[in-house]
Amino acid sequence: MKLTLYTDYSLRVLMYLGLRDAEERVQIDEIAGFYSISKNHLTKVVHHLAKLGYIKTLRGRGGGIMLNYKPEALNIGEVVRSTEDNFHMAECFNAENNQCVLTPVCSLRFVLNDALKAYLEVLDNYTLEDILPNGIPG
């Protein structure tokens, strides 16, 4: 399974913030520059992460973004579930648009569903702290 760029960017933002002091405010420009990511894309990601409660945003002079949780309290599986738009590994996963003629007799979707469950269960075993690189970027 391949994560969307949106989820990839979300994890990168959280990792970047996870390496900072708890109260250190970081600018979106700084993160965008470090990862060579479009500031516009990153702004959307940061807005969504704030709506989900993973990060805090402070506007104005001296503003910025910071984690809303300690890295050891932020579960990677939860973040992935919150930022991925769907987990349709095959056409039959999307009940609304499933055109596959094999669906009534095919067992592949059950196998893929088991694989998806296992994938998410593995991610559930990790926190942000577990995936932080050694050393502070930038």
> Percent of the chain, pLDDT > 70?
90
Question: What residues have CB less than 8 Å from 47, skipping those under 6 apart?
Answer: 57
For the CA atoms of 92, 98, 101, 107, the dihedral, rounded to the nearest 10 degrees, stands at 10
Give the least confident one: 17-26, 27-36, 129-138: 129-138
Structural domains in the chain? 5-131 (1.10.10.10)
Rounded average pLDDT over 44-58:
96
Q: Render 25-66 in DSSP notation, one character per residue.
A: -B-HHHHHHHHT--HHHHHHHHHHHHHTTSEEEE-STT-EEE
Q: What is the pLDDT of residues 72-129, one digit of tens each?
A: 999 999 999 999 988 776 666 666 777 777 667 777 878 888 988 999 999 999 999 9
Query: How far is it, in rounded angstroms, from Cα 90 to Cα 51?
Result: 30
Q: Which of 14 and 63 is assigned the larger pLDDT?
A: 14
Rounded average pLDDT over 23-29:
93
In the structure encoding, which two tokens stand for residue 60, read together? 């104005």
Average pLDDT, the chain: 88
The DSSP bridge partners found for residue 127 are 75
pTM of the model: 0.86
Helix, strand and coil percent figures for the chain, each rounded to 5: 50, 10, 40
